[in-house]
Copies of this chain bind each other. A is one copy, B any other.
Amino acid sequence: APMASRNIRLGVIAGDGIGPEVVAEGLKVLDVIAGQYDLTIEKTAYDLGAARWHRTGEVLPESVIEEIRGQEAILLGAIGDPTVPSGTLERGLLLRLRFELDHYVNLRPVKLLPGVKSPLADVTPEDIDMIVVREGTEGPYTGVGGVLRKGTPHEVATQESVNTAFGAERVIRYAFQIAATRPRRKLTLVHKDNVLTFAGDLWQRTLKKVAAEFPDVATDYVHVDAATMFFVNNPQRFDVVVTDNLFGDIITDIGAAIAGGIGLAASGNVNPDRSVPSMFEPVHGSAPDIAGQAKADPTATILSVAMLLDHLGLPEAARKIEKAVGEDLTERTGPRSTQQVGDDIAKRVAG
């Protein structure tokens, strides 16, 4: 008897700038996988981003959030547009989704793939192979803060980093779980505990507490400023990194840079308990300067699709995409359009 086909409800938020272009290629590859693994991908496209805001003034209506909650996973392109006041879409849409869906694990592999040139001299793929586990729901990203006497010489603007034992513990435990499955079994906390003493102390104590559950994982601490330096001159130092929301934002962009560029950096906004959809997206932004020119590299989105499949319990399919991307990177020649890269990878996946 034929196996029952698996149905996957996928929310698709293509978003702004190059978002739609790269998402199209991600879906192209996902469709090939669907055929091979007998998956039915039930896609719902959400019209969110700059265009909707201009048209209706809406960023993320409650009803849409409720609908999105019913999806099994989300594929997101990019959010942000220069014609919309900075922060409106980022805070109102992207961060709102991360917070509402409690995506407390922001998973960002930093891996130099074979065939990719790092801007660092003298590094090989063995030298850059880490996973950054960025906290996704607190820290300086809460939006807590305000402004007093705006526009006067006496203006005061505050931003508050809010950190909880609950929030730190769950993401640190998740990071330990990942570290325990990797050959090096090393977890590095990145923070700034010599300056941000209240938050840093909480993270340090929580690390120590959770470490007791993972006696096989070695732990380490590096200040965020030193960490950025080590990313450049000693990336070998890192295996799994756990860090706060803002520090994670910053170090994963350097991570993308040393691993060959933002065009290759994938990520997952994960809620491990699966009661709500996790959301997968390239680390890059909407890049309005190259939007509509078929110049964007869809590889980061395609690798984000692989992370999505992993999350849905389809590791074989995920590895297949990664293998195809690896071959594509090694064998590519000359510049290609966004669509060509997608076609080439899809063809390799089709085998």
A residues sitting closer than 8 Å to B (CB atoms) are: 80, 86-87, 90-91, 95, 118-121, 140-141, 143, 145-147, 149, 151-166, 169, 192-202, 204-205, 224-226, 228-229, 231-233, 246, 249-254, 256-258, 261-262, 285
Q: With contacts A165-B155, A233-B261 known, is A192 near B121, CB below 8 A?
A: no
For the complex formed, measure the closest distance between the CB of A62 and the CB atoms of chain B, giving whole angstroms.
21
Residues on B with beta carbons closer than 8 Å to the beta carbon of A262? 229
* Cβ-neighbour of A121 out of B119, B166, B257 (below 8 A): B119
Contact A164 B159 (CB under 8 A): no
Instruction: Find out whether the CB atom of B198 lies under 8 angstroms from the CB atom of A146.
Output: yes
18 more contacts with CB within 8 A, not counting A141-B195, A228-B251, are A87-B195, A118-B121, A120-B121, A140-B140, A140-B196, A143-B197, A147-B198, A147-B201, A153-B169, A155-B202, A157-B163, A158-B162, A158-B199, A159-B160, A195-B249, A225-B253, A232-B254, A254-B254
A159-B196, A160-B159, A257-B233 known; A154-B140 Cβ under 8 A: no
On whether A228 and B250 interact (CB within 8 A), knowing A161-B140, A161-B161, the answer reads: yes
Chain B residues whose CB sits within 8 angstroms of the CB of A202 once the complex forms: 147, 155, 157
Top 8 A-B residue pairs of the complex, sorted by shortest distance between their CB atoms: A155-B165, A232-B257, A225-B253, A90-B194, A87-B197, A157-B198, A121-B121, A229-B257
Number of identical protomers: 2
Bound form: Cα–Cα A153–B159 in Å: 24
In the complex, which residue of chain B has the Cβ closest to the Cβ of A79?
Answer: B194
- Of residues A224, A226, A252, A253, which shows the largest number of chain B Cβ atoms within 10 Å of its Cβ? A253
Supply 28 A–B pairs (Cβ within 8 Å), ascending by A: A86-B197, A86-B200, A87-B195, A87-B201, A91-B195, A91-B197, A119-B121, A143-B197, A147-B201, A147-B202, A153-B165, A156-B163, A156-B164, A157-B198, A157-B202, A158-B160, A158-B162, A158-B163, A158-B198, A158-B199, A159-B163, A160-B161, A195-B246, A225-B249, A226-B285, A228-B253, A229-B254, A232-B254
CB of B250 within 8 A of CB of A199, answer: no
With both beta carbons as reference points, the residue of chain B lying nearest to A228 in the complex is identified as B254
A252 to B165, CA, bound (A): 31
What residues of B have a CB within 8 angstroms of the CB of A165 in the complex?
149, 152-156
In the complex, which residues of chain B have a beta carbon less than 8 angstroms from the beta carbon of A200? 86-87
Give every chain B residue within 8 A of A80 (Cβ-Cβ).
194
How distant is the Cα of A79 from the Cα of B38 in the complex, in angstroms?
Answer: 61
* Neighbouring B residues of A121 by C-beta, 8 Å: 118-121
Q: Is B232 within 8 A of A145, CB to CB?
A: no
Distance, CA A153 to CA B256, complexed state (A)? 35
Select which of B87, B119, B158, B229 is within 8 A of A253 by beta carbon.
Answer: B229
* Neighbour of A195 across the interface among B95, B198, B231, CB < 8 A: B95
Judging by beta carbons under 8 Å apart, are A155 and B160 in contact? no
A122 → chain B closest CB, angstroms: 8
Give every chain B residue within 8 A of A118 (Cβ-Cβ): 121
Residues A194 and B87 in contact, CB atoms below 8 Å apart: yes
